[in-house]
Amino acid sequence: MFSDHRHTVTAKDGSSDLVRKKSERLRFMIELYDMVDGFDAQPVETVEIAAKLGLDTSNPEDLLEVLKIIRYLHGEELLIASGPPGKAPRLNLTHKGVREVEESRGNPTLSTEHFPPLDEIGAVLGDHSSGQNGTASAGDLVVLAESDRLEVLRMARSLQEWADRLSLEKEQRAAYDADIRTIEAQLDSPHPKTALIKVALESIKRTAKEANAGSGFVDSIVSSGIASAIDRLVARL
pLDDT at 217: 53
> What is the mean pLDDT of the segment spanning 157-178?
87
Contact (CB, 8 A) for 197 and 237: yes
Give the CA diameter of the chain: 62
**Mean pLDDT comparison of 131-145, 159-173, 202-216, highest-scoring range:** 159-173
Half-sphere exposure for 91 (CA within 13 Å, toward CB): 30
Residues 97 and 146 in one domain: no
pLDDT at 169: 86
The tens digit of pLDDT for each residue in 192-217 reads: 878 888 888 988 988 888 876 655 55
Q: 132 in a domain, yes or no?
A: no
> What is the mean pLDDT of the segment spanning 59-65?
89
Residues 18 and 106 in one domain: yes
Q: Is the pLDDT of residue 235 over 70?
A: yes
> What is the mean pLDDT of the segment spanning 168-190?
86
Q: Could you tell me the residue range of the domain that residue 225 belongs to?
A: 141-236
pLDDT at 77: 96
Q: Is the pLDDT of residue 186 over 70?
A: yes
Residues 156 and 109 in one domain: no
Q: 155 in a domain, yes or no?
A: yes
End position of a domain, from candidates 96, 127, 158: 127
Residues 10 and 123 in one domain: yes
pLDDT at 192: 80
Residues 16 and 102 in one domain: yes
Lowest-pLDDT choice from 44-48, 49-53, 86-90, 190-194: 190-194
pLDDT at 223: 80
Q: 95 in a domain, yes or no?
A: yes
Residues 119 and 166 in one domain: no
End position of a domain, from candidates 97, 127, 157: 127
Predicted TM-score of the model (pTM): 0.53
Average pLDDT, the chain: 81
What is the domain count for the chain? Answer: 2
Residues 5 and 7: their CA atoms lie apart, in Å, by 6
Q: 1 in a domain, yes or no?
A: no
Q: 117 in a domain, yes or no?
A: yes
% the chain with pLDDT above 90: 29
> What is the mean pLDDT of the segment spanning 115-123?
85
Residues 87 and 150 in one domain: no
> What is the mean pLDDT of the segment spanning 82-97?
91
Residues 150 and 224 in one domain: yes
Residues 106 and 168 in one domain: no
pLDDT at 104: 92
- Higher pLDDT pick, 143 / 48: 48
Residues 27 and 116: their CA atoms lie apart, in Å, by 11
Residues 165 and 112 in one domain: no
% the chain with pLDDT above 70: 82
Residues 148 and 144: their CA atoms lie apart, in Å, by 7
- Residue 124: phi, psi to the nearest 5? -75, -45
